[in-house]
Amino acid sequence: MANAPMEGTKAQDWINLVLAIALFISPWVVGFAAAPAWNAWIVGIVLGALAVATLSVFAEWEEWVNLVLGVWLIVSPWILGFAEVTGAMWTHLLVGVLVAGMSAWAVWDYRHNPHAHA
């Protein structure tokens, strides 16, 4: 269920937006291409869009999608076969852990502080 505009604005959403931008630019900054770059760009765009949407109107399902995307980033180096590309693997792993953590924190906060979102 969505809340009124801006009530869902939390530190977690801003952090996820920063992580989405960092993930999107990471292929150029860290220097990787092909599958890891496409994965970073696609997931970065989706994470960024969800972060912007959550900043305007909070919806718990968006945080669950972010959690799934965070887990995907953690496992994608092995599933997509770029675990040996050290920079790409560590970028995906680190951003994935942070995104999953931020999303889990947002869901926990939402479920344990419902009066703050009413």
What's the pLDDT score for residue 36?
95
User: Would you state the pLDDT for residue 115?
Assistant: 58
pLDDT at 58: 72
Q: Is the pLDDT of residue 1 over 80?
A: no
Dist. CA 48–CA 45, nearest whole Å: 5
Rounded Cα gap, residues 94 and 74, in angstroms: 8
Domain layout of the chain by residue ranges: 11-117
Handedness of CA 105, 90, 48, 61 (dihedral sign): negative
